Amino acid sequence: MPSQSGHDDGVHVFFQHSSDIWRDFPELVPGALYAEGITAAVGPGAALDARIAAHAERAAARLAGASEGELPEIQAWRRAFTRMGLKPTQYRCASEALLRRFRKEGSLPRLHPLIDLCNAVSVSYAIPVAVFDVSRITSYVEVRHATGDETYLTFGGETEHPPAGEVIFADAEGRAHARRWTNRQSGHSAVRDSTANVLIVAEALHDTAARDVGSLLATLTDELNGLWPVTPKSAILTPDAPRFEFPGQ
């Protein structure tokens, strides 16, 4: 299969969802984006600040009319968590957790230019956005049910083993790069100052997910182009075209 990134270096990895996930969540709309050449520094700081502020303003406007739990994007993920046997107010999807913090504190913590941007886009769209350092992925990332043998590294450096049946982001070495689907990412593949090439994933389940995920990917592409000398490639995935390929390292 040709790489959707436009490169042909002979080494490719891929992102996909298992057939079980597509069967159980037919309303799923995933978007994937690959970019290389990311750095821990961007151009003038005001450019990034202005972009983040614009997304925060949109999020604040939506929260002025409804709490995060009332937004259709979040309600769809709450239903999904319930179907997975999780209490949705105990385990929240990443966008709900960010929106909750944003509503309470009025801002989000600043960690790394790319993470700051993706978090801002996530609250703007109320859609979970995950960012992975490609150099920390082995062969592929698949959203699937855990077997119980995978390992998950917390941001605190502790190792956990997701129970069998939990939906995780898993690679070929049995690393779980995210637990409880869109609840929490792993510290193993988190973006750091040395990160250069990234896989960004956005997933939605609400009625207008196809339109909104497409808009989110277009927005991210424009933002990345404005902050780094990159040429992002992206795709909306479907059951008939479930795989997104990109260069490995």
Per-residue model confidence (pLDDT) at position 12: 86
SS3 assignment for 76-132: HHHHHHHHCCCCCCCCCCHHHHHHHHHHHHCCCCCCCHHHHHHHHHHHHHCCCEEEE
Per-residue model confidence (pLDDT) at position 8: 45
pLDDT averaged per 10 residues in sequence order, the chain, 249 residues: 38 94 98 97 83 97 96 98 96 98 96 97 98 97 98 97 98 98 98 98 98 98 94 97 92
Per-residue model confidence (pLDDT) at position 46: 67
Answer for the pair 123, 105: CB distance below 8 angstroms, yes or no.
Answer: no
Distance CA 181, CA 130 (A): 10
Distance CA 50, CA 172 (A): 39
Per-residue model confidence (pLDDT) at position 50: 94
Report in angstroms the alpha-carbon separations of 153 from 108, 132, 156, 245.
23, 14, 8, 25
Strand-by-strand arrangement of the 167-170 sheet? 184-185, 176-179, 167-170, 140-145, 12-17, 244-247
Answer for the pair 76, 181: CB distance below 8 angstroms, yes or no.
Answer: no
Per-residue model confidence (pLDDT) at position 10: 56
